[in-house]
Amino acid sequence: MSEHADIVAIHYPRGVTALVWFDLETGTISTSHAGLQAALHQGVRNWDGRLVRSDEGRVFLSAVYDHFFLSGYSVHWLSLSGLKEVGTTYRV
């Protein structure tokens, strides 16, 4: 992971938080949650119901936010610089 990323934090009801981020330097989407990787790889629907895929970068990250927000999850959007490492990562 590069030092600059836009991140969506998804807070699951049982206390787990999954991160999905768009790496601003490489243009890739990754997640910290293995199970979420498979689901996101298929794409997600945005606010308007359009299927968005990970190769759309920041648009995809926005759709991830919309999808989980509309599903009733607590979600937060973060833009960070200086981030060095997130434990285990899974590229979407």
pLDDT band at 85 (very low <50, low <70, confident <90, very high): low
92 Cβ partners below 8 Å, 6+ apart?
A: 20, 28, 29, 30, 31, 37, 40, 41, 54
Q: Is the pLDDT of residue 3 over 90?
A: no
Q: Is the pTM of this model over 0.85?
A: yes
Q: Is the pLDDT of residue 60 over 80?
A: yes
Enumerate the domain spans of the chain: 4-82
The chain-wide mean pLDDT, for the chain, equals 88
